[in-house]
Amino acid sequence: GFDIPRWRQPILDPGQLGQRVGMALLEIMVVGIDGVQLNWKQFAMAAYVDILLDNAFGNFRDIMGKITTNAAMASFLTFLGNRKANANTGSVPDENYARELMQLFTMGLYGLNQDGTQRMNGTTPAESYTQADVTGLARVFTGLNLDSSDSTTPDRYRRPLIVTANQHEMGVSTFLGATIAAGTDGMAAINSALDTIFNNANVPPFVSKQLIMKLVTSNPTPAYVGRVAAKFIDNGSGVRGDMKAVIRAILLDTEARADPLGTTGGKLREPVLRLTGWARAFKATSTSDTWTIGDTSSTNNRLGQSMGRSASVFNFFGPGYSPPNTAIATAGLVAPEFQITNELSVIAYVNFMQSVVSNTVGDVKAAYDELTTITDSQALVDKINEVLAAGQISATTRTAIKTAVDSVSNATNKIYTAVLLTMASPEYLTLK
């Protein structure tokens, strides 16, 4: 099924950075498989994820073009078969994609300075686009359809959509200060619209900040955002949107390399990354090579998150979320991953991981061979800290884990206890 490669790839793929960037893009340009209304939807959704993975180190403008002509995205945001306005019936083009493309995928709601801070109109934030821009842009995304009526195989869901001329709006379309002339060919109009958005001043800081938040820290300084946005604008060779340059700037920035990341640095580790981190640290295997971990989005007894299974275009958690009545909120900071974190989800995570660590999940099982030769409990705790948590578990927490391990008599259960408590510790759950 769809979930098999979503687990196999981030666990086994040697190109882990590409996997991480592709996953970050999937959380920004969201498609959730349950909202895809196509036959062969697992194949259609897989083709969408492949676009993000294959172009993770490509150019952002290419990503924009490929998601716009992707069947799963077109179904999820309801613009597949979108028709031009009909004066007789009063129907107008679907505005879903036009709105979300600007609001969530590229620009954001408010005007931004290059460092990601909001531009203001007096005392109110400047809007980055208006409803008139949405309406004008929606005219462009009309007439997009599958290139074949053959539904006997999933092949057509892998190929780019084409424009059906008589469904496409051929009149003048105006948005974001740009005008597409009447009579412009459908795909040419779409590319012109995407160029207009791609060259909008909001895109570099908006996209750069979101990627920083996914990969490094929830609260990057404006200076950090500005340095990355500068690379988005120009990779040093005059190229805009070079993802390779953007990712390099994000990961090699002085703020990303600082140790520790300071009082406002770091982020809550996403539930999915906790599981894949465990699987890689302890060389987990799947006896059938089908990695049948399945859908982990249940908040009652699983992780509360599962890649490609967001129920809406707003992802499992939004970039602006701040947990109410906390020091984080009081300080004016955000912690997006806390949107799926509460008393129930924390208990569900620990219970689920207890089963995963000590048994199997599907047919996935860890190999703790490296730990079975360690007889000293402190050495065991320290080794797990090293391989699982990159040495971030504090001495105080390691002492508490050791005490729990010492209370267990069975050697195998000592390993399970040490691994589980490490994964439940604040220092593991918080990336610094």
Would you list the DSSP string of 45-70? Answer: HHHHHHHHHHTTTSBHHHHHHHHHT-
- For 218-256, the pLDDT digits (tens) are 999 999 999 999 999 999 999 999 999 999 999 999 999
As a 3-state breakdown, the chain gives helix, strand, coil percent values, each rounded to 5, of 50, 5, 40
- For 358-378, the pLDDT digits (tens) are 999 999 999 999 999 999 999
Query: What integer is the mean pLDDT of 103-128?
Result: 97
- For 171-187, the pLDDT digits (tens) are 999 999 999 999 999 99
pLDDT confidence bin for 1, thresholds 50/70/90: confident
pLDDT confidence bin for 260, thresholds 50/70/90: low
Give the containing element (helix H, strand E) for 174: strand 173-175
CA distance 263 to 247: 24
- For 305-319, the pLDDT digits (tens) are 999 999 999 999 999
Q: Identify the pLDDT of residue 370.
A: 93
Q: Identify the pLDDT of residue 232.
A: 99
Preceding amide of 5 cis, omega within 30: no
CA distance 291 to 294: 8
**Bridge partner residues of 91 (DSSP):** 86
Mean of per-residue pLDDT scores for the chain? 96
Q: Identify the pLDDT of residue 261.
A: 67
CA distance 191 to 188: 5
CA distance 155 to 141: 23
CA distance 315 to 24: 11
Query: What integer is the mean pLDDT of 277-287?
Result: 96
Q: Identify the pLDDT of residue 258.
A: 85
